[in-house]
Amino acid sequence: MRSSQEIILGIDPGTRILGYGVISVSKGVKLLDLGVVNLKKEGSHFLVLQKIIAEVSKLIRRYKPTLIAIEAPFYGKNPQVMLKLGRAQGAAISAGLLKDIPIYEYAPRSVKLAVGGKGSATKEQVAQMVQHILNFKCEVKYLDATDALAIALCHYQSEKSLTTLAAKEDNKIRIAKINSKLTRKGASQSLSMGRKTLSSIKSLGHSGSWEEFVKSNPGRTIKTKKTAK
């Protein structure tokens, strides 16, 4: 069950630029912040990882997110690029895990589908949809930041869909229970009536007759109309 306010930190990991976006979810969704961390000036790959951990930790302290949504590394042809990108994602995840924050991972295609309705959407198209959803404008240079917001929105949409599905399933269960009660009640009433009828027939004994039963139980018989010959 969703709390009164949920803070989602979306992260688009990278080895040169890391994008982040923060949204709050209550009755609706609201933009809190977005931006990028420039990693181009770091001397080595390990210093890049160190800065990612430090900067994500700062964001966590500032916004106190209830969860982190992060994009999964895409599959490329260059193994070294994939390795470094995976390390960058791991560094961001580590910063969250150290604070016991739940982490959710989404594939790039899933993010684009959730926000733009098309898995092949470009960064520019994703940026336009994110700005439309959250009602704000930003400069083109912050495309990594709008990607991060899209990741946060992807989690929001996924959670919203699951909540709706759970509500529908609960409703189905309630209806099934009501129908089951009605069925049991109807069966119980039919059984009770049958027992009364059987008891009445038995009370006639061997000396009784059908005519006597009809006279003593006028409400339990159906009169048929005689057809003209």
* Tens digits of pLDDT across the chain (229 residues): 445 789 999 999 999 999 999 999 988 899 999 999 999 999 899 999 999 999 999 999 999 999 999 999 877 678 888 899 999 999 999 999 999 999 999 999 999 999 988 888 898 999 999 999 999 988 767 899 999 999 999 999 988 764 443 444 455 555 555 666 666 666 666 666 666 666 655 555 544 566 666 666 666 656 665 555 4
C-alpha span between 13 and 128 (Å, rounded): 20
User: At the fourth CATH level, which superfamily is domain 6-169?
Assistant: Ribonuclease H-like superfamily/Ribonuclease H (3.30.420.10)
The closest alpha carbon to 19, from 56, 67, 60, 64, belongs to 56
Q: Are 143 and 16 in contact (CB under 8 A)?
A: no
pLDDT of residue 116: 81
Identify whether 147 is a catalytic site residue.
no
SS3 string, the chain, reads CCCCCEEEEEEECCCCEEEEEEEEECCCEEEEEEEEEECCCCCCHHHHHHHHHHHHHHHHHHHCCCEEEEECCCCCCCHHHHHHHHHHHHHHHHHHHCCCCCEEEECHHHHHHHHHCCCCCCHHHHHHHHHHHHCCCCCHHHHHHHHHHHHHHHHHHHHHHHHHHHHHHHHHHHHHHHHHHHHHHHHHHHHHHHHHHHHHHHHHCCCCCHHHHHHHCHHHCCCCCCCCC
| Side-chain half-sphere exposure of 179, counting CA atoms within 13 A | 6
| Side-chain half-sphere exposure of 183, counting CA atoms within 13 A | 6
pLDDT of residue 176: 59
The closest alpha carbon to 105, from 6, 14, 10, belongs to 10
pLDDT of residue 165: 37
Identify whether 71 is a catalytic site residue.
yes
Choice among 33, 42, 71, 159 that is catalytic = 71
pLDDT of residue 185: 63
Identify whether 212 is a catalytic site residue.
no
pLDDT of residue 181: 62
pLDDT of residue 100: 97
The closest alpha carbon to 106, from 89, 118, 131, 123, belongs to 89
C-alpha span between 70 and 178 (Å, rounded): 43
Contacting residues for 102 by C-beta, under 8 A, at least 6 apart = 66, 67, 68
Choice among 12, 33, 124, 159 that is catalytic = 12
Q: Are 55 and 37 in contact (CB under 8 A)?
A: yes
pLDDT of residue 5: 87
pTM above 0.85, yes or no: no
pLDDT of residue 224: 60
The closest alpha carbon to 65, from 97, 112, 17, belongs to 97
Choice among 100, 124, 144, 211 that is catalytic = 144
